[in-house]
Amino acid sequence: MSFISYLINGLSLGSVYAIIALGYTMVYGIAKMLNFAHGDVIMIGAYVALLSMTQAGLSPLAAILIAVVVCTALGIVIERIAYKPLRNASSSLAVLITAIGVSYLLQNVALLLFGANAQSFQSVVKWGGLSLAGGSLKISGETVVTIIACIIIMIVLTFFVQKTKPGQAMRAVSEDKGAAQLMGINVNGTIALTFAIGSALAAVAGVLLCSSYPSLTPYTGAMPGIKAFVAAVFGGIGSIQGAFIGGLLLGIIEILGRAYISSQMADALVFAVLIIVLLVKPTGLLGKKIQEKV
């Protein structure tokens, strides 16, 4: 039963990675930018939810909604101020450096506002969970809710991108910004919408992550954000289904590695997976090879 328990915990952690990776993969797939500040938006969302529950006395659902609204607005502001001026930059290095700068800015603002001490996060899940196999296998409510939330988000996001007009506009901008603009698509608005959706998902991921691992600091989102980026690359960055599969697999690998190999080596194992994927299949599991015209 211990292996099944580890597997379920891996799916739960992987679901968080998958939700974060969906934000990464959408922004990269449409705007061709790597938003490394995404992990810190997770942290902001968790702090907003925590303060909403503890200071304002709001219900968990209301706290999640407020966190989503705040992070959505934050994502739009970050895109407008930090990334939009660099959209046509000659070097992608400028965008990367800016993303790192925004990440450190959010971390230091959080340090000033909330302090460096870890705060205990109040779980938004009030359900005790499941007890199976005569009580020998217990699944926490946070685990069940996280996995279900990830599946629902992936399905809704896939439907949105494939079947709605804004989603079709995103796909058009992803293929060719210039041609999309000539066809009357608002490229700036579409990219801003992409950042908004990614940041909203980051808020949900932050709340779910801190509900399962109830400790919150200004650096909480840094490592999960990096691992989610690994998951996006693993699954094929730019692919929604790839981000979903990559996140789940990475969570399982991390938990099983922590259980059967070494808890100290779990993070190293995650990044070893990235190296192997880049060597064997650089486009990821579901990524498409892009042919450049000369």
CA distance 230 to 274: 6
Collect all residues with Cβ–Cβ distance below 8 Å to 13 and sequence separation of at least 6: 212, 251, 254, 255
Percent of the chain with pLDDT over 70: 95
- Residue 278 domain-assigned? no
**Residue 284: strand, helix, or coil:** coil
Task: State yes or no: pLDDT of 290 exceeds 50.
Answer: yes
122 located within any domain: yes
The parent domain of residue 202 ranges over 2-219
The answer to whether residue 165 sits within a structural domain is yes
Each residue's pLDDT tens digit, 140-190: 888 999 999 999 999 999 999 888 999 899 889 888 888 888 888 898 899
Q: What is the DSSP letter of 162?
A: H
Residue 232 domain-assigned (yes or no): no
Per-residue pLDDT of 79-99, as tens digits, reads 999 888 887 776 678 888 898
Distance (Å, whole) CA 257 – CA 262: 6
What would the pLDDT profile of 102-121 be if each residue is shown by its tens digit? Answer: 999 999 999 999 998 989 99
- 234-245 residue pLDDT tens: 888 888 888 899
Q: Given this model, what pLDDT does residue 289 score? A: 60
DSSP-based three-state secondary structure for 131: strand
pLDDT the model gives residue 1: 60
> What does the alpha-carbon distance between residue 66 and residue 45 come to, in Å, rounded to a whole number?
9
Task: Give the gyration radius of the chain's Cα atoms.
Answer: 19
* Alpha-carbon gap, residue 96 to 34, rounded angstroms: 7
User: What does pLDDT average to over the chain?
Assistant: 87
Query: Structurally, how many domains does the chain consist of?
Result: 1
Q: Name the residue among 216, 206, 215 with its Cα closest to residue 63.
A: 206
| 45 part of a folded domain | yes
Q: What is the pTM of this model?
A: 0.90
**pLDDT (tens digit per residue) in 40-94:** 999 999 999 999 999 888 999 999 999 999 999 999 999 999 888 887 776 678 8
Is 178 a member of any domain? yes
